[in-house]
Amino acid sequence: MSGQQTYVSLMRLTQKGLDELTDSARRRKVSEDRVASLGGRSIAFYALLGTYDFLQVFEMPSNEAMLQYVLTARRDGHVEPLIMPAFDTGAYGGILQAMT
């Protein structure tokens, strides 16, 4: 385990994001660089069909670093993210074990 917290982000494009859709690949690179500058890393990125447009999985060193990243992304105005902490099976098993 890296000591980092895992987060899943579901994102919807805003009108600005849709208007600038062809610049999407460059913005994703900017996003990955921002995550790295905060001590995290982007693990996976997917385009989706349905209610959300993208899914990204991150590791970040803290909730504070994740909040800084999210506020910066929201300020840019291309996506509206829904961020959720995620727990792997080992962490989840440990939580369940502690409950017994």
CATH number of the domain encompassing residue 84: 3.30.70.1060
Question: DSSP E strands: which ranges in 14-100?
Answer: 41-47, 54-60, 79-86
Helix (H) or strand (E) run with residue 54 in it: strand 54-60
Per residue in 16-34, pLDDT (tens digit) is: 999 999 988 899 899 999 9
For residue 1, name the pLDDT band (cuts at 50, 70, 90): very low
pLDDT band at 2 (very low <50, low <70, confident <90, very high): low
Q: Percentage of the chain with pLDDT > 90?
A: 85
Number of domains comprising the chain: 1
Read off the pLDDT of residues 34-65 as tens digits, 9 standing for 90 and up: 999 999 999 999 999 999 999 999 999 999 99
